[in-house]
Structure 1
Amino acid sequence: MTSQEPQTQLKVQLITITIDNEGQRIDNFLITQLKGVPKSMIYRILRKGEVRVNKKRIKPEYKLNIDDEVRVPPIRVTEKAEQHLSPKLEKIAVLEKMIVYEDDVILAINKPSGIAVHGGSGLSFGVIEGLRALRPDARFLELVHRIDRETSGILLVAKKRSALVALHEQLRLKTMTKNYLALVKGDWPSSCKVVQAPLLKNMLKSGERIVRVNQEGKPSETRFKVEERFGFATLVKASPVTGRTHQIRVHTQYTGHPIAFDDRYGDKNFDDELANTKLNRLFLHAANVQFIHPKTEQIMQLQAPLDKTLQQCLTVLRQNNPKRYI
């Protein structure tokens, strides 16, 4: 007889649907309710009829209605698996300090560089898993958008599905404005205010994802404005109109002005020129975001200050280039 690890989540759950989940597909609802449970297991229990809505079997595409009663069967997740999914306490503490705004429907965090927005691809957890650990009683916490693991700055999280839907609509209509700060190689020309170059994602044999400018790619547009010049480097504000993977990083590379310390699209010689600044991370930061609050309908402007590493880099560049100009 082989010993078995203790199992958790062995109680039947009966969940009554509220307005926050009205219209949501049952499979997506279960994915948010059963954190860490593999999607294959969720579709298995749906297929076997173990999940019931109003005591009836349903299909994965079933859309929930207000007052539906959802029966969620006991889900067996080993403690070992739970430990793998549980964020480390010190990283959770860092996230708590980085929250820049929170109310009853949204939360905004100044994401540190080096932390992914969600777990996966060999990562045990990301920002969203950490926030769920910080807010164990929150019934709904979902990413509104994403930023690269190496990028820091403003990240919006919805605390209600209605807020998520409203903010996604603003992204679709391009009424949400996001501005990034990037330190790029060389003297960025003032005449280069917009880059429109289609982007195509490629997967290398190593599993690494690389994006290239390709006419067969998706239409992509980024607007640029010079903030400061340092001779061999320029601080620019980048405002993506579309939201493609690695968009700003590839568009700056495409123009011949890659971002400092970009390990995929950068320039090693440029990085070496910045040695005295002690910069050791991608200089790309989501500095601010403007949107309409999904509940109050007021215009919101949220700011995320630069971390110490980026601040120090700029301080050194300013000291070494007193005659810098806009």
Structure 2
Amino acid sequence: MTEKVISAKVQFVTISDDESGQRIDNFLLAKLKGVPKSLIYRIVRKGEVRVNKGRIKPEYKLQGGDIVRIPPVRVSEKNTTPISTKLNKVAELESHILYEDEVLIVVNKPSGIAVHGGSGLSFGLIEALRALRPEARFLELVHRIDRDTSGILLVAKKRSALRNLHEQLRVKTVKKDYLALVRGQWQSHVKAVKAPLKKNELASGERIVRVSEDGKPSDTRFSIEERYQSATLVKASPVTGRTHQIRVHTQYAGHPIALDSKYGDAEFDQKMKSFGLNRLFLHAYSIRFTHPRTEEEMVITAPLDSNLKAILKRLRDEN
């Protein structure tokens, strides 16, 4: 097992006005490239990262003039994949870009690729985009989707665009629609699931989300797209943006998503595998937002991949 030195000595970084407004955890992820998110949280929690000589929480928003103390950081390279072996993924990613201009990239993220490195992965979608666009001085994720979920992901090329889109997300003017294949016959009258969600971390570090009275308010709207003998294709539109929200809300409604390794149903998954499904059937297929520079209303859709299309054809044939 080898170690890589990310930061050999204590650094003191003064935050510029252009860097203000971002969370300290996101700032550190960008500054300490290759450091797992779990380690970032650990050094913040232990007080090794300080702002203006004081301890802060991971959600602290940086202000212009803040002085950030960054401790020496070493990371184990065990279980990480060198970027060189992922260059084919970088080349493939070009064909997944749905829209690009001077401030924004919209990507149709393939299933199985994390949005950023960490948790044993040295390479994620944002690292691939930075390799694909080496001339871009700034590339940051506007939001995230799960590793096994495919579909639309917004990436900002300017900090002003990132701030603008984060504000749109905060005031809930961004509309996202997902397609999910769920077990059984979704009932027509179930048009919304409002069940509070609480995030739990297991000893292994795995995150599991449960419906809990003391969880955060969570709201997903649902409509039926197509019915099959043993499954329903639903459109899920999250109003809030909690971790694993759609996956847990469909499970809570009694209709888990096909091939969901955390919240799924083994018997249903086995049947879908026999039909050829090889991934979680959850796809972020549409997004509506205001362009951060032109203020034009943008509506972008992302096609389903060939595996998901083939499954739907097979289900139609069964009807």
TM-score (norm 2): 0.81
Whole-Å separation in 2 of the counterparts to 1:213 and 1:23: 31
Q: How does 1:149-298 map onto structure 2 within 5 Å?
A: 149-298=147-296
Query: What SS does the aligned partner of 1:95 have?
Result: helix
Where in structure 2 are there 5+ consecutive unaligned residues?
Answer: 57-61
Asked whether the 8 Å contact 2:177–2:236 carries over to 1, the reply is: yes
Aligned residue identity for 1:235? L
Match of 1:53 in 2: none
Whole-Å separation in 1 of the counterparts to 2:257 and 2:28: 40
Report the CA distance between 1:275 and its aligned residue.
3.9
Whole-Å separation in 2 of the counterparts to 1:35 and 1:239: 33
Query: What SS does the aligned partner of 1:274 have?
Result: helix
Whole-Å separation in 2 of the counterparts to 1:85 and 1:286: 28
2:60 is the counterpart of 1:63: no
Match of 2:59 in 1: none
Aligned residue identity for 2:83? S
Range 181-190 or range 31-40, more displaced: 31-40
Regions of 4+ moved over 2 Å:
5-10, 15-41, 43-47, 57-65, 75-78, 83-87, 272-277
Q: How does 1:94-173 map onto structure 2 within 5 Å?
A: 94-173=92-171
Query: What SS does the aligned partner of 1:219 have?
Result: coil
Report the CA distance between 1:64 and its aligned residue.
3.1
Report the CA distance between 1:139 and its aligned residue.
1.3
Aligned CA RMSD, in angstroms, stands at: 3.6
Report the CA distance between 1:22 and its aligned residue.
5.5
Aligned residue identity for 1:251? H
Larger Rg: 1
Report the CA distance between 1:289 and its aligned residue.
0.4
Whole-Å separation in 2 of the counterparts to 1:20 and 1:160: 10
Report the CA distance between 1:317 and its aligned residue.
0.9
Whole-Å separation in 1 of the counterparts to 2:255 and 2:117: 31
TM-score (norm 1): 0.79
Asked whether the 8 Å contact 2:184–2:230 carries over to 1, the reply is: yes
Whole-Å separation in 1 of the counterparts to 2:194 and 2:29: 36
User: Alpha carbons of 1:213 and 1:307: their partners in 2 closer, same or farther (altered >3 Å)?
Assistant: same
Asked whether the 8 Å contact 2:34–2:118 carries over to 1, the reply is: no
Asked whether the 8 Å contact 1:25–1:64 carries over to 2, the reply is: no
Aligned residue identity for 2:268? F
Where in structure 1 are there 5+ consecutive unaligned residues?
Answer: 48-56, 322-326
Percent identical: 61
Match of 1:51 in 2: none
